[in-house]
Structure 1
């Protein structure tokens, strides 16, 4: 008989967050857009600078704005990761319960329950199960190290959601 309830106790690490962000970028439209849009804006600004320079109308403000947009596109992922790490550190230890009704997570700041209707798919990475919503937004990353029985957790997730990304070949080795 398959288990219908899995409990996890963990603290998210910078590595966990980095891996969940990378999985979202690789496997979801929302993740790819989050990386592409800042670069597209910076690219259009740079193109505008080139066109203004060709017409002899380039001003210092044009260059400053373009450099700022390129810097934003370059450093935004690092800032997002640093912000997520600070939030995770403030929240401390998390307790997650995955069962037939969905996922509930409690930590030092309270709790949150998400039914399966909000968690439409998951991705499995080498060290995580990343649960996603309809738009591809990452709702929660569950570290495999926190699951006493990864197979039971995987089976529960597969039963209630759809797998959204290819798992590494070593992912199923426990």
Structure 2
């Protein structure tokens, strides 16, 4: 294993700091510098890994500074923005529909629903209510439904107990 020049080491450390895998970095070094480096050799330049635990302070500082800058700039990457992803999914869904590929359109619509959160499920939490109030409301609805089932079954003493419980719950 030949010693790497500082330029190559810097490239490796910065790529690892941007969350590239050792395999990706190894391939990038081959393309950029025409040097073959193994995954293990690349991993020695990652201070977050056991193999890189003895990395020189100079390279650790470069790694930490690059990672910090990368995390701060992630918001500037378009695909990291939900609105951008939703617009792209919208364009894809329209194209799938024009191609009469309804299965793909359905998958894209499902992905967009997942992207937006609670829209995919049949549940809405009102913004002015707290989560505890929403849980209480759902419990009341559940108990009312159970009461209706019991009443349809012949109206026994359990129905009366449930009715008493429901009466005690805050509305």
Q: TM-score range by the shorter chain?
A: under 0.3
TM-score by length of 1: 0.26
Q: Which entry has the higher C-alpha Rg, 1 or 2?
A: 2
Question: Which of the pair has the greater relative contact order for Cα pairs under 8 Å at 6+ separation?
Answer: 1
